[in-house]
Amino acid sequence: MIGRKTICELLSLSESKGVIEVSVIMKILMLSDFYPPIIGGMERYVLLLSRELVKRGHEVTVFTVGHEYSSGFTEESGVRVIRLQGFFQKIPFLFKDINKKYPPPFQDWLITRRIKKLIETEKPDIVHANGWILYSLLPLKKKLRIRLVTTLHGYSLICPNQILMNGSRICNKPLSTKCISCGRESYGLVKSFFAYYAVKLNVKKLKLVDKFIAVSSFVKEIYTKYLSLSDEDIIVIPNFYEAKKEKSELKYIGVLPEDFILFVGALAPFKGIDVLIDAYRRINTETKLVLIGHTHPNYSYNDSENIQIIKNAQHEILMKIYPRCKFVVIPSICPDACPTVALEAMNCKKAIVASDIGGLRDIVVDGKTGMLFPSNNSNKLANAMKYLINNPKECIRMGERGYKRLVNSFSVENASKKIEKIYQNVFVK
């Protein structure tokens, strides 16, 4: 193992000579709220990045919240994974989903103690935090002289409810007392109250982060504005995807229509379900509409003759459904940070009709890889869907261009090189 002093000398020398790639092994500690087998955008991000960094010669340890069924230490594809419960994970009634017990939006002293012991033992060169687990690390930052990088996967560090919405509009007053009423539906009044004050009181501590990575230009814009950060504090590196061909063989196909448009996401109004259904009903077409996703507390949708709803499908099944659809619609009202759904659709060479909002603007090239429409506008959405239905050859071409864009702009290989460079710059800072 190359020592810290040697690393600094090598990196400083390489910078002075203008060298972009440096073969220096670094010890990286990844902190993440969750990690597979729990699946989500952030979990896939940490998984793919950790494995790619190992391929590039680095030593990576992931520390994440564990549960009764997945606690302890494992090694997966060269990545050391440590799953340990915090104090709050031991209180079952705090969580609606007992399989997804989030770290709190404030310091969990038990998690802090375990991270401290791990850092003192492993002596990582860089700590890369993802999610609310960051709050349990920040009290250790100065004392242990931690070099800290944080990825902003969404808006959770300024929005306790995480979706940056006030009713049907993007919230323009985050960290105000309105957050309490916004979070009441998801958390209940008491937990929403504590989540709001915890996030608000921790804002100043975010100055301790050495470098932020935003997954889209919109995420950077929001955090720069509301945290008063400089342009250099945040670097945009989009979410990435491991491009591969998906097999379309599917026993499940018996319950699917032959010709359909596909929506994938939370079955909730903030994902634009109401807008999509209204737009679809404006179109005179034999093409069906299939909605796939997890139910939400205010879920209120039912199957009809032309609209089929599949609830809580496993990801493996979903990935076999994508290739069968005509195109994918992402009609979000909320400003999705950098939705994995879009990357999955591109991987399957599907054109995308998406809201012109949030991180979708960075992913979908209007008129080239899909079509963008004004958010919450069912008439414009109907026109876009009608165009792709009536122009099947162009729909296919858009899907092909989307796949090429995925490979060129959203590969884990390219992203890992950029993130590695950030580690190096933070280390020698």
Same fold, 4-158+203-240+411-427 and 251-409: yes
pLDDT for residue 361: 96
Give the number of other Cβ atoms within 10 Å of residue 212's Cβ.
23
pLDDT for residue 251: 55
pLDDT for residue 370: 98
Residue 214: is it exposed, middle or buried by C-beta count within 10 angstroms (0-12/13-18/19+)?
buried
Residue with tokens 């896939």: 44
Topology of domain 4-158+203-240+411-427, CATH = Rossmann fold (3.40.50)
pLDDT for residue 37: 86
Please, what are the averages of pLDDT over each run of 10 residues along the chain (429 residues)?
50 48 80 89 94 96 78 87 84 68 88 96 97 96 96 94 86 86 80 88 94 97 92 94 66 75 92 95 95 78 87 84 96 94 96 97 97 97 98 98 95 94 91
pLDDT tens sequence across 146-162: 999 999 999 999 998 88
Q: Domain map of the chain by residue range?
A: 4-158+203-240+411-427, 251-409
Collapsing DSSP to helix, strand or coil, 252 comes out as helix
Angle at CA of residue 104, ends 239 and 336, nearest 5°: 30
DSSP state of 102: P
Q: Which two tokens stand for residue 250?
A: 């599917």
- The architecture (CATH level 2) of 251-409 comes to 3-Layer(aba) Sandwich (3.40)
334 in Cβ contact with 221 (< 8 Å): no
pLDDT for residue 372: 98
Q: In whole angstroms, what separates CA 297 from the centre of its chain?
A: 21
Report the distance separating Cα 59 and Cα 79, nearest Å. Answer: 8
pLDDT for residue 24: 78
